[in-house]
Structure 1
Amino acid sequence: MSFHYFAGHAFRALTAQKDGPSLYDVCDPVLAGPATGDPHLAKFYKTALGNPALRALLRRAGLPDLRDEARLTRLRAALTRARDDAEPDWEAVGRPVADLLDTIALDHPKPPPTPFNDAAPALAEIDNVIRDCAHHLLRSYRQNGFLPTYAAFNLIGDPDLRGRELIMALTGLNSRGYKNSSLLFNLARVFIARSSARAIINPPWRGIAEPMWEPVQIRHRSAYYDAFFIEALLAYGETGLASPAEATAAKTAIADMVDFCINISREEVMGADGRRFDVITALAPSPHPRFSRFFAQIKQDLGFGVYVPDCDTTACSFSAATQAGSEDPILAQPLLDFYAGYQVREGVNEPRVTVPLNDNIDYEGGVATWIDNLAGERPYGNDLDPTLNLDILEVSFRNLARWKILETPARLATVHRIIAFQKRLAASGAFANPRSHVYYLPELYSAYFGRCYAAFLSLPLAAQAAIDPDGTFDFIRARVLGYVQGEMLVAEMNAFDAALALIALGHLGADPKTFAPALNCIVRALGEGGRRGPFRAYEWNKMKTPTRILVGGPEVTSAFVLMGLAVARKVMAGRG
């Protein structure tokens, strides 16, 4: 977006006619004075919503609905109960905010169609982009001592989180601080979405994955991110394009990241059967996440004080370590025994999913996200994401023999239930609906299915038959390919979308001629990142609560572009 775009919309926001009470008219009488009751609510309000820049932008954003004195009084009373009650009734507290939330209209991106370009760029151009991305990753690692990822807030929130889903979050989350931040962020969403500030906070963009507008905000390190950076550097090595010095540098970085994933980020937890397991936490103890002192305090103030392990970070870390050739004893643990305790079984443990934001899908057979730590803490309640379950299948295929999955009926049954969960998702078409996903885009699900499918095809035929006797993987493959070719490739894309398309197309055995739109998109976009890298920062994954928090970064885009081009290059050379 140009300077003139932001300047014009900022002028309109700052000079708009105020039509009813603003966010600050509502909250200041309750939360701006001396703290009483739960101190976090007022602290969060002053830190996140009361900062001078946002206050200036929203001070004239009034809601005519709140000119109704009775409605305004109910809203303030709800905020007062959230502040003062020892055990608030969160459904009652959230209801006035949920009713306002249902007055806003947000939509997922709908990129316009674009002509199909069947002339792919030359192999030399593809190789140059691969090298640029690898050079960016290795340079960033050398400069920082790790590969950073960033988190950024989009205060307008997620289109799928409306009043009903807010009540789900307030009643299903366990951390009071997280409930506080969800309540106030979602109240602010209403004033943003119904004012001129909307155009500044949520400007339009090209493609599906949302760009992370400058400044990219919170730099940090996580085992989940390191796992995919490992895969990207391994992919670079497989292309044969690395110089001897680069190969050595990549090997050093990979070894460090493997250690970070399976040692530094390791945490012991209790399985459902009483056994103890070593799993991987998404945020290792300080100072390993590499937050600045300022953002470490902000994280605390926003309600992210306790971070627990999760099933996805564990699966991806184990997978990356396996691909890198690690023989660490942690990998000998049959993770499926642990995951079975978090697998939803209809009528048995369905309440395990306490925040069912995507309850349009059938959870039977899926594995939930968050892992209780040894202290029994579960700040985020629990949810269930389809893409996470692909990662569990992928790591299981890579460790099929090590974990004796085919020889252990209970482990094989856990795999079969996850596959059945994925089949229902594909058969219904729900995988293509953004609402079905808690942390990811359908486009990313498609790429991750390709990654999972490639691991499946690497197994002996007898093992494939035992795992998938009904041909479910080929059924899902057809559905995902149809989505990528019929939806993604015929519409406007950005570089991250294009990388995801290539990962899916290459792994799923698509005709190389269909790669052209994605390849051309990436080659055209090269250089868009300016001084930060070859490409801009885009949305990799997200959180829908407490508001829409995007995670990505320039290094992330380089990693995914590198992986997408490496897969495409291999297929185009006839080696797929």
Structure 2
Amino acid sequence: MGVTYFAGAAYHALTASKDGPSLYDLCDPLFHKHTGGDAHIVKFYKTALGNPALRPLLCRAGLPELRDPARFKAVQQALTAARDEANPDWDAIGRPIAELLDTVTLSHPAPKPVAASAQAPTLGEIDDVIRACGAHLLRSFDRNGFIPTYAAFNLIGDPDMHGRDFLMALTGLNSRGYKNSTLLFTLARIFIARSPAGKLINPPWTGIAEPMWEPVQIRHRSAYYDAFFTEALLSFGDTGLPSPDQTTSSRRAIDAMVEFCLTTSREDVRAHDGTTVSVVTALAPPPHPRFSRLFAQIKQDLGFGIYVPDCDTTACSFSAATQAGSTDPILDQPLLDFYAGYQVGNGSNEPMVTVPLNDHIDYDGAIVTWIDNLAGERPYGNDLDPTLNLDVLEVSFRNLVRWKVMETPKRLETLQRIIGFQRRLVASGAFADPKSHIYYLPELYSAYFGRCYAAFRELPAATQQAIDTDGTFEFIRLRVLAYVQGELIAREMNSFDAALALIALGHLGGELAHFAPALRCIITATGEGGRKGPFKAYEWNKMKTPTRILVGGPEVTSAFVLMGLALARRRMMNGHAA
């Protein structure tokens, strides 16, 4: 989108006729000068919704339903209860807001079909982009002392969050601050989505992954990100393209990031059998996340003060460290024993999924997301994401011998039940539905399955057969390939979409001819990032609550483009199917 679009959208938002009470007519009397009750919800309102930057855009956004005094009063009474009651009834509080939320209609991107690209780029063009991406990552590490990632709020919310889903989140989340932020962000998104401000806050884009063009992006560091940057730099080295100095710099960065994952971000927790296990936290304590002082305070004010470990960050950190050749004793822990305590089985662990936003899928056999810390805190409740479970499989394959999985029936059973969950997901077609995924998109699930499949295929043939007795991996491979080749690359893509397509095609043995559209998209887009890097920032992962929070960055795009091009380059040099 160009300057003209944003100028026009801003003009319409600022000059629109007001059609009913606004967010501020509703909330200012309750929060603007109030003292007492729950101080956090008042501070959240002033910081996130009542701030001087947002107020001009929404002051003319009104809801005609709220002209009805009874409905206006019902919403105000709900907000007052959230503000004042010691133990609020969150279901009752959420219902009048849920009714309004169901009037909002949002849709997922639907890229237009495109003709197949006639010609793939040359190896020389591909090598140039790989070098540019590798240099970008190393330059960023040298400048910052780490490779940053960014978070940005999209206040219009997620298309899959309807009234029912909102109530699930409001009642299933544990932290009162997180409930407060979910309540108020959801209320605000109704006014945004139904006003001209929506076109300014949520402009259209090309492809599936959302560009991160919001004006406020929060730079930070997490072990989850360091794990994938480690894999990207390992991939860069495998191409043979880095200079000697870059090879040395890559090794230094990899060692530092593995140290950050396994030592700085390490946290001890209690397993379900009472033993102590070392895992990896989603966000290490200050100053390690590297927030600016301003955003560190805003994060606290918005109710994101407590972070707990998660199964995904732990799995990806262990995997990256294993690939980097780490011998840290933490890797000797058989994670499958720990994960078994977080595995849904025969209904026994079903209550662990307190925020079941994707309850249309069968959870049996899958691992939930969040790990209780030693204090027993779990501010986000718990949810379940299919892509996370691919990461658990992948790290288990890489550590199969170390963890004696084949010699331990319980560990093998845990592994096979996750595989069974994945088969049912793909057989139903739900893997291609964005609603099935809590933190990712179907295109990213496809790339991560490719990553998981590659680790599986590195095992001896007899071991593969013993683990996958009914050919599930081949079954999923064909379904995911069909989605990538028939849907993803057959439609308009952006550079991040194209990188994910290449990762899936490269690992899953896609025909070489199918690489051309994604390769051409990346070559054409090179330079789009301007001074920030070869490519723009796009959505890597997201959170649906308390509103749509995107995570990505120019360095993230460079990392995924590098990995995708490295796989394509290998295939082109080999000249035959994987």
Instruction: Using structure 2 for the length normalisation, give the TM-score.
Output: 0.99
Aligned pairs for 1:153-168 within 5 A = 153-168=153-168
Which residue number corresponds to residue 87 of structure 1?
Answer: 87
Aligned to 2:347, the other structure's residue is in SS state coil
Distance in 2 of aligned mates of 1:106 and 1:174: 27
Contact 2:155–2:548 (Cα < 8 Å) also in 1:
yes
Q: Does 1:538 align with 2:529?
A: no
Aligned pairs for 1:388-407 within 5 A = 388-407=388-407
Contact 1:356–1:383 (Cα < 8 Å) also in 2:
yes
Distance in 1 of aligned mates of 2:35 and 2:466: 61
Which residue number corresponds to residue 382 of structure 1?
Answer: 382
Which residue number corresponds to residue 349 of structure 1?
Answer: 349
Contact 2:347–2:364 (Cα < 8 Å) also in 1:
no
Contact 1:368–1:382 (Cα < 8 Å) also in 2:
yes
Contact 2:153–2:214 (Cα < 8 Å) also in 1:
no
Contact 2:152–2:551 (Cα < 8 Å) also in 1:
yes
Label 1:214 to 1:70 Cα distance change in 2 as closer, same or farther (>3 A).
closer
Which residue number corresponds to residue 491 of structure 1?
Answer: 491
Map Cα deviations across residues 159-193 of structure 1 (whole Å, 9 max, x no partner): 00011011001100000000000000000000000
Distance in 2 of aligned mates of 1:214 and 1:409: 49
Aligned to 1:277, the other structure's residue is in SS state strand
Give the CA deviation at 1:214. 4.7
Distance in 2 of aligned mates of 1:294 and 1:173: 26
Which residue number corresponds to residue 103 of structure 1?
Answer: 103
Give the CA deviation at 1:13. 1.0
Percent sequence identity is: 73
Map Cα deviations across residues 414-455 of structure 1 (whole Å, 9 max, x no partner): 001000000000000000000000000000000000000000
Letter in 2 for 1:121: P
Aligned to 1:550, the other structure's residue is in SS state strand
Letter in 2 for 1:37: G
Aligned to 1:346, the other structure's residue is in SS state coil
Aligned to 1:53, the other structure's residue is in SS state coil
Distance in 2 of aligned mates of 1:514 and 1:571: 12
Which residue number corresponds to residue 313 of structure 1?
Answer: 313
Which residue number corresponds to residue 125 of structure 1?
Answer: 125
Map Cα deviations across residues 180-231 of structure 1 (whole Å, 9 max, x no partner): 0000000000000000001000000000000000535100000000000000
Give the CA deviation at 1:413. 0.1
Aligned pairs for 1:106-505 within 5 A = 106-215=106-215, 217-505=217-505
Contact 1:99–1:163 (Cα < 8 Å) also in 2:
yes
Map Cα deviations across residues 268-323 of structure 1 (whole Å, 9 max, x no partner): 00001111100000100100000001101111111111100000000000000000
Which residue number corresponds to residue 35 of structure 1?
Answer: 35
Distance in 2 of aligned mates of 1:564 and 1:526: 14
CA RMSD between the two structures: 0.7
Map Cα deviations across residues 143-163 of structure 1 (whole Å, 9 max, x no partner): 000000000000000000011
Bigger mean CA deviation after superposition, 320-329 or 112-121: 112-121
Aligned to 1:151, the other structure's residue is in SS state strand
Contact 2:109–2:207 (Cα < 8 Å) also in 1:
yes
Distance in 1 of aligned mates of 2:360 and 2:554: 33
Give the CA deviation at 1:35. 2.2
Letter in 2 for 1:20: G
Contact 1:118–1:514 (Cα < 8 Å) also in 2:
no
Map Cα deviations across residues 451-500 of structure 1 (whole Å, 9 max, x no partner): 00000000001110111011000000010000000000110000000000
Aligned to 2:267, the other structure's residue is in SS state strand
Distance in 2 of aligned mates of 1:442 and 1:303: 29
Give the CA deviation at 1:11. 1.0
Letter in 2 for 1:350: E
Give the CA deviation at 1:89. 0.2
Which residue number corresponds to residue 71 of structure 1?
Answer: 71
Bigger mean CA deviation after superposition, 438-447 or 12-21: 12-21
Letter in 2 for 1:409: P
Distance in 1 of aligned mates of 2:347 and 2:524: 52
Distance in 2 of aligned mates of 1:269 and 1:214: 36
Contact 1:118–1:513 (Cα < 8 Å) also in 2:
no
Contact 2:222–2:284 (Cα < 8 Å) also in 1:
yes
Letter in 1 for 2:116: F
Distance in 1 of aligned mates of 2:390 and 2:34: 49
Contact 2:152–2:214 (Cα < 8 Å) also in 1:
no
Distance in 2 of aligned mates of 1:315 and 1:304: 23
Aligned to 2:574, the other structure's residue is in SS state coil
Distance in 1 of aligned mates of 2:314 and 2:571: 30
Which residue number corresponds to residue 18 of structure 1?
Answer: 18
Aligned to 1:534, the other structure's residue is in SS state coil
Distance in 1 of aligned mates of 2:454 and 2:285: 34
Distance in 2 of aligned mates of 1:368 and 1:534: 36
Give the CA deviation at 1:553. 0.2
Distance in 1 of aligned mates of 2:34 and 2:498: 51
Distance in 2 of aligned mates of 1:199 and 1:273: 51
Distance in 2 of aligned mates of 1:336 and 1:351: 20
Distance in 2 of aligned mates of 1:267 and 1:9: 46
Distance in 2 of aligned mates of 1:554 and 1:230: 16
Which residue number corresponds to residue 5 of structure 2?
Answer: 5
Give the CA deviation at 1:540. 0.1
Distance in 1 of aligned mates of 2:349 and 2:109: 35
Aligned to 1:17, the other structure's residue is in SS state coil
Contact 1:150–1:216 (Cα < 8 Å) also in 2:
no
Distance in 2 of aligned mates of 1:80 and 1:38: 10
Aligned to 1:537, the other structure's residue is in SS state coil
Letter in 2 for 1:116: A
Contact 1:154–1:549 (Cα < 8 Å) also in 2:
yes
Which residue number corresponds to residue 559 of structure 2?
Answer: 559
Bigger mean CA deviation after superposition, 9-18 or 415-424: 9-18
Q: Does 1:47 align with 2:47?
A: yes
Aligned to 2:97, the other structure's residue is in SS state helix
How many equivalent residue pairs? 576
Distance in 2 of aligned mates of 1:302 and 1:112: 38
Distance in 2 of aligned mates of 1:382 and 1:239: 40
Give the CA deviation at 1:410. 0.1
Which residue number corresponds to residue 512 of structure 2?
Answer: 512
Distance in 2 of aligned mates of 1:391 and 1:521: 28
Contact 2:152–2:212 (Cα < 8 Å) also in 1:
yes
Map Cα deviations across residues 80-138 of structure 1 (whole Å, 9 max, x no partner): 00000000000000111100000010000000011101410000000000000000000
Distance in 2 of aligned mates of 1:5 and 1:117: 29
Aligned to 2:542, the other structure's residue is in SS state strand
Contact 2:130–2:562 (Cα < 8 Å) also in 1:
yes
